[in-house]
Amino acid sequence: MDAQLLIANLTNPTLLFFVLGILATIVKSDLEIPPSTVKFISLYLLFSIGFKGGQELAHSPFSAEILYSLGFGLLLASLIPLYSFFILKRRLTVSDAGAIAAAYGSVSAVTFVAAASFLESQRITFGGHMVAVMALMEAPAIIVGVILLMRYDTPAAGEPANPGLGSVVHHSFTNGSVLMVLGSLVIGLIADSKQAEGIKPFTTDIFKGFLAIFLLEMGMVTARRFGAFSRYGRFVTLFAVLVPLLNGSAVAVFSHFVTDSVGNRFIFAILAASASYIAVPAAMRLAAPKADPGLYIPMALGVTFPINITLGMPLYLALVQHT
């Protein structure tokens, strides 16, 4: 890994705001961002990414690579939760293993946003269709997780039956984050280019500022939840560190069979390495009510997210550029 690239990533202003958020919580500062503001910023980031992706897709000729990319993304989102479940089931309950497997098979929109900013700082572009790949990777992981739960988790006497697969899939597609990024992608795709230029200052120029504030909040949330799963021992921590790094590294190497684009291969790696802590937890509340949110949310947000944005991104880019 290029040491200069790692240092540049660690001194990125947006990442430093993430660190500031962690420090603010550690020193018990009264720094707080109103929940309504955080929700607005998260929706803005998804809107911006989706809209810009749709605009880029509108100006890109449709090709076999786009179909291969969509298929590859769906394959990753189906395989990762499958083998993750059987690793986790050795030490955890079926409900916890299923929820964690779904989270790690799915993707983190915030990690995707940070990755897009990272590529921009390196002056590397990626295809607009990768936004569609990200959005489509949410549901398959949830579906696989629910199927595994239905297969291996039998409700005890008196417990409610697991909800049907259809209701959980519907919930995953109507989740606010998925609907926003998919809807913005479609709008960007069909919008008139000249009219779209009129909102460019909003979709592009202020993006990094909002991202910095959002990561400040993510830093505070991470610090508050980091110790929540300490009672589960080192196994879950090692899983949250090693499995995403292995997933991202493997995909960074083998994605050259799908595309030659450095930016697209990097995005594939970050999608494979990231874990959902928004869409999947919302779905798992329905599908796996016995699973402990104090385990799978801190794993994804408190361990995997900071590992990816500090060490992961320079590692994946180095692997893409040298394979």
Structure tokens given for 164: 């049907």
156, 237, 133, 78 alpha-carbon torsion, rounded to 10°: -40
Nearest Cα neighbor of 281 from 291, 266, 267 is: 291
Structural domains in the chain plus CATH codes:
3-321 (1.20.1530)
Amino acid (1-letter code) at residue 284: M
The listed range with the strongest mean pLDDT (73-87, 190-204, 296-310) is 73-87
pLDDT at 204 over 90: no
What is the per-residue pLDDT across 139-164, written as a single tens digit (0 to 9) for each?
A: 788 888 888 888 887 655 555 555 66
Per-residue model confidence (pLDDT) at position 198:
81
Amino acid (1-letter code) at residue 34: P
Rounded to whole angstroms, how far apart are CA atoms 315 and 118? 12
275, 280, 284, 285 alpha-carbon torsion, rounded to 10°: 120
Cβ atoms of 126 and 52 within 8 Å: the answer is no
Following DSSP, what letter does each residue of 6-31 receive, concatenated?
A: HHHHHT-HHHHHHHHHHHHHHTT---
Rounded to whole angstroms, how far apart are CA atoms 225 and 220? 9
The arithmetic mean of pLDDT across residues 268-297, rounded, is 81
What is the per-residue pLDDT across 208-259, written as a single tens digit (0 to 9) for each?
A: 888 888 888 878 877 876 666 667 778 999 999 999 999 999 999 999 999 9
| Residue that has been written with the tokens 């989706």 in this structure | 50
Q: What is the pTM of this model?
A: 0.76
Per-residue model confidence (pLDDT) at position 178:
66
More confident residue, 19 or 221: 19
Per-residue model confidence (pLDDT) at position 219:
82
Per-residue model confidence (pLDDT) at position 312:
93
Rounded to whole angstroms, how far apart are CA atoms 40 and 82? 34
Rounded to whole angstroms, how far apart are CA atoms 216 and 180? 22
More confident residue, 247 or 292: 247
pLDDT-wise least confident of 71-75, 269-273, 295-299: 295-299
pLDDT-wise least confident of 91-95, 185-189, 276-280: 276-280
Structure tokens given for 184: 């913005």
**Average confidence score pLDDT of the chain:** 83
What SS3 string covers 170-205? HHHHHCHHHHHHHHHHHHHHHCCHHHHHCCHHHHHH
The arithmetic mean of pLDDT across residues 112-120, rounded, is 87
The arithmetic mean of pLDDT across residues 18-43, rounded, is 88
What is the per-residue pLDDT across 53-76, written as a single tens digit (0 to 9) for each?
A: 788 777 777 788 889 998 999 999
pLDDT at 121 over 90: no
Per-residue model confidence (pLDDT) at position 276:
85
